[in-house]
Amino acid sequence: MSRAFRPRSLQEAVALLGDPELGAVPVAGCTDLMVLDHAMRRSHRAVVDLLGLAELRGIRWAEGGGSAGGPVVEIGAASTFSAIRADPLVRMHLPILAEAAATIGAWQIQNRATIGGNLANASPAADSAPVLLALDAELVLVGPAGERVVPYRSFHLGYRKTLLAPGELIARIRVPVPVPGTRQRFHKVGTRQAQAISKVVLAMCCRREPDGLLRGVRFGVGSVAPVPRRLRGAEQACEGRPAGAATAERAAAAAAAEVHPIDDVRSTAAYRREVLARLVRRMVLELAADAG
């Protein structure tokens, strides 16, 4: 029989999770955890329920909340994708996050799956990951050693390895509010529109300056590497250049060259590389087509 804990505060949760005697695992929406429990016929010595923690809930605007000093939208890690896709702040300022949330599993899954669980589970195909890379989010981690804020781009260390220390939790996700006029794009390719794990998932964020040049370009991609990652080559190919066919071609070629996808049950490496290049090309061309 597992011992179960329903902590009343984040501090209590962290104290429980930091106790090696107890050997407890955190549980949130259980959409990854219980699938594995079932498949592996495994059980847990102890579990700590995160869903009741007020500190992990809610989505709010915080002035000067980010390391860069600007306003952020701060998302509690136990927010479900249903809550995220319906949230007015997210819809207005982070439309690609709302879009990604709406593609995660189906209604039943979105009602339970949390964004913190999606990141902590660290699947290379997690759909919120490329979006948070493109938006350059930060994570607030809380553990036995206290609180620390880390850029999300440094969170994934290797296949399913993250920089979470034992007993440490993702408490909140801070997303800098993009300056007005920032273009955001999200595209997921799976076997069908809903309830499909991504074969390739791409998010992009950038500004088009009055002179027509692209600035602050960030691409986040999933399912083409052991971890969700930025496409630095494609970003450099766009930075300071006019949106248009030439830039689109360069960015697509750079993206194809910088990823090393694998063949697996969902797709092949060659398909993923080709699709990624096409998505990058299309996103850049769409920027050119946009007025202003």
Ligand X SMILES: Cc1cc2nc3c(=O)[nH]c(=O)nc-3n(C[C@@H](O)[C@@H](O)[C@H](O)COP(=O)(O)OP(=O)(O)OC[C@H]3O[C@@H](n4cnc5c(N)ncnc54)[C@H](O)[C@@H]3O)c2cc1C
Q: Which of 20, 41, 43, 210 binds other proteins (CB under 8 A)?
A: 43
State both tokens at 13.
């949760």
Positions in 160-219 near ligand X (CB under 6 A): 169-170, 195, 197
Q: Which of residues 16-35 bind other proteins (CB under 8 A)?
A: 16, 19, 22, 27, 29-31, 34-35
β-pairing, 59-62 vs 156-158, is unpaired
15 binding partner (options other proteins, ligand X, none; Cβ < 5 to 8 Å by kind)? other proteins
- Tokens representing 11 are 């501090």
To ligand X, the closest distance from the beta carbon of 181 in angstroms equals: 29
Figure out which of the listed residues 10, 95, 112, 150 binds other proteins, where binding follows CB under 8 A. Answer: 112
Q: Nearer Cβ to ligand X, position 29 or 178? A: 29
Q: Measured between alpha carbons, how far is residue 116 from residues 26, 103, 146, 153, 268 in Å?
A: 11, 16, 18, 15, 29
C-beta of 48: minimal distance to other proteins in Å? 9
**Binding to other proteins by residue 121, rule CB under 8 A?**
no
Pick between residue 43 and residue 179 the one whose CB is nearest to other proteins.
43
φ, ψ at 188 (rounded to 5°): -120, 135
Q: Which residues contact 291 (CB under 8 A, 6 or more apart)?
A: none
Among 7, 29, 124, 228, binds ligand X (CB under 6 A): 29
d(CA 227, CA 290): 31
Dihedral of CA 235/272/243/177: which sign?
Answer: negative
Q: Which residues in the 69-88 window bind ligand X by CB under 6 A?
A: 77
Q: Is 145 in the site for other proteins (CB under 8 A)?
A: no
Q: Do the Cβ atoms of 94 and 73 come closer than 8 Å?
A: yes
Cβ proximity to ligand X, 170 vs 206, nearer residue: 170
Integer CA distances (angstroms), 85 to 57, 81, 91, 105, in order = 15, 6, 7, 13
Scanning residues 102 to 121, which ones bind ligand X (CB under 6 A)? 103-105, 109, 112-114, 116-118, 120-121
Which of other proteins, ligand X, none binds 215 (CB below 5-8 Å, type-dependent)?
Answer: none
